[in-house]
């Protein structure tokens, strides 16, 4: 029975996700106004790309799998945007 050892890519991804988490928490407590929202979305986007590339292994998959993953991500974006519209349009 062989033991499983994580590759350097997984360790790098984990370290990057932890660093981005620390950056997110740090920026959440800083009074930056509208920049807090923009920075949080940017950091979340980078985290999403890391997870999709490394853990979902999309960088090793054929083009059709990438297209369907992108379509699912696009659909999630539409659903979140429509949910956000409820809060934006309230008086």
| pLDDT tens, position by position, 57-85 | 887 888 898 899 889 989 988 998 998 88
CB neighbour class for 68 (10 Å; exposed up to 12, middle 13-18, buried from 19): exposed
Whether residue 21 is predicted with pLDDT greater than 90 in this model: the reply is yes
Task: Give pTM, 2 decimals.
Answer: 0.72
Number of domains within the chain? 2
Q: Tell me which residue range forms the domain holding 14.
A: 1-60
Quick one: 18 and 54 in the same domain?
Answer: yes
Quick one: 23 and 11 in the same domain?
Answer: yes
**What's CA 32's distance to the chain center, in Å?**
22
Quick one: 69 and 91 in the same domain?
Answer: yes
- Cβ(54)–Cβ(8) below 8 Å: no
Quick one: 45 and 5 in the same domain?
Answer: yes
Q: Which residue has the tokens 């992108």?
A: 70
What's the average model confidence in pLDDT over 10-32?
94
What's the average model confidence in pLDDT over 14-35?
93
């Amino acid at each position: 029975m062989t033991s499983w050892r994580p590759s350097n890519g997984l360790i790098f991804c984990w370290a990057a996700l932890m660093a981005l988490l620390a950056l997110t928490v740090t920026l959440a407590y800083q009074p930056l106004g509208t920049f807090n929202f923009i920075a949080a979305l940017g950091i979340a986007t980078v985290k999403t790309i890391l997870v999709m590339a490394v853990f979902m292994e999309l960088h090793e998959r054929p083009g059709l799998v990438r297209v369907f993953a992108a379509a699912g991500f696009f659909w999630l974006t539409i659903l979140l945007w429509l949910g956000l519209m409820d809060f934006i349009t309230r008086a």
